[in-house]
Amino acid sequence: EAGVAQSPRYKIIEKRQSVAFWCNPISGHATLYWYQQILGQGPKLLIQFQNNGVVDDSQLPKDRFSAERLKGVDSTLKIQPAKLEDSAVYLCASSLTAGGGVANYGYTFGSGTRLTVV
Amino acid sequence: TQLLEQSPQFLSIQEGENLTVYCNSSSVFSSLQWYRQEPGEGPVLLVTVVTGGEVKKLKRLTFQFGDARKDSSLHITAAQPGDTGLYLCAGRGGSEKLVFGKGTKLTVNP
């Protein structure tokens, strides 16, 4: 089966500019996640969607970050305006289910978008 | 906030050696997963452990979940250069949110 697709792979922008990332999850996966991975750290959850609804966005800096998942399939993550500390790899992942007592499905990650803010 | 501490942070060994990496927390997890991440790629799931005391084997990799479901270990026998990567543990707690550790960066030299 096709994996999780992300684009672009790399992006370099100046601080205060805007940037958008795109993710296409595995077909049939209801749950989609955006993670931020800063160099030397593990991934940190930014936002979780169940179909096209937001389940958890408690760690999303909402003053500058926004995300949407129209029609419960593709998703975009936007940063506006970007700061230097936003430099990181942005990973999209999908899973059949969010968990909740059902079998503990693993996440399938995309290759990520490496963002550099200068 | 549930935290997962991984140790060591960095590990560099010779091909053929054995190694163990650890994942510890003060919190109880309903399940714990191990992922491997190679440079420029996303993490890839290796295993999920659910039951306290559970041991799972994947070829030369042995994963163990602590009896109290607060810790886990990954043991690699006869490491090979292809094992090089960032090993991440991730625990699922009461909120069902998956929380990742910072990872152990393993380098296996030929």
Point out the residue among B31, B40, B45 whose CB comes nearest to the CB of A111. Answer: B40
Q: Which fold has domain B5-109?
A: Immunoglobulin-like (2.60.40)
Chain A residue with minimum CA distance to B4: A42
| Ranges of each domain in chain B | 5-109
The two tokens of residue A26 are 């595995």
pLDDT one-digit tens code per residue, B55-89: 999 999 999 999 999 999 999 999 999 999 999 99
Considering only CB atoms, B102 lies closest to which of A41, A99, A111, namely: A41
pLDDT for B104 equals: 97
Q: What is the mean pLDDT of chain B?
A: 93
Residue to mutate among B96, B102, B104, B105, with most A CBs inside 10 A, is B96
Query: Does the structure show a pLDDT above 80 at B93?
Result: no
Q: Where are the domains of chain A?
A: 5-98+106-117
Angstrom distance (rounded) from CA A92 to CA A57? 14
Q: Which CATH number fits domain A5-98+106-117: 1.20.1260.10, 2.60.40.10, 2.40.50.140, 3.90.190.20?
A: 2.60.40.10
Beta strands in chain B (DSSP E): 5-7, 10-14, 19-24, 31-37, 44-49, 55-58, 61-65, 71-76, 85-92, 98-100, 104-109
Please name the residue of chain A whose CA is at the shortest distance from the CA of residue B6: A42
- Closest Cβ–Cβ partner in A41, A48, A99 for B92: A99
Task: Map residue B85 onto helix, strand or coil.
Answer: strand
Q: What is the DSSP pairing of strand A113-117 with strand A10-13?
A: parallel
Residue ranges of chain A whose CB lies within 8 Å of a chain B CB = 4, 40-45, 48, 56, 91, 93, 98-100, 104, 106-112, 114
d(CA B29, CA B70): 6
Cβ–Cβ < 8 Å for B108, B48: no
- Chain A contact probe: residue of B49, B50, B98 with most A CBs at under 10 A: B98
Whether B42 and A112 lie within 8 Å, measured CB to CB: yes
Give the number of other CB atoms < 10 A from CB of residue B110. 7
The answer to whether the beta carbons of residues A86 and A111 sit under 8 Å apart is no
Q: What is the C-alpha radius of gyration for chain B, rounded to an integer number of angstroms?
A: 13
Burial class (CB in 10 A: 0-12, 13-18, 19+), B73: middle
The pLDDT of B84-100, averaged and rounded, is 86
**Which three-class secondary structure state does DSSP give residue A46?**
strand
Tokens 């043991």, residue? B75
**Cis before B81? omega within 30:** no
> Comparing C-alpha atoms, which of B85, B92, B91, B87 is closest to residue B107?
B85
Taking chain A (118 residues) in consecutive chunks of 10 residues, what is each chunk's mean pLDDT?
A: 90 98 93 93 93 91 95 94 97 77 70 97
Q: Considering CB atoms only, which of B45, B50, B100 is closest to A42?
A: B100
Map tokens 């549930």 to a residue.
B2
Query: What whole-number distance in Å separates Cα of residue A92 and Cα of residue A77?
Result: 10
Chain centroid to CA A29: 15
Higher confidence at residue B30 or residue B18?
Answer: B18
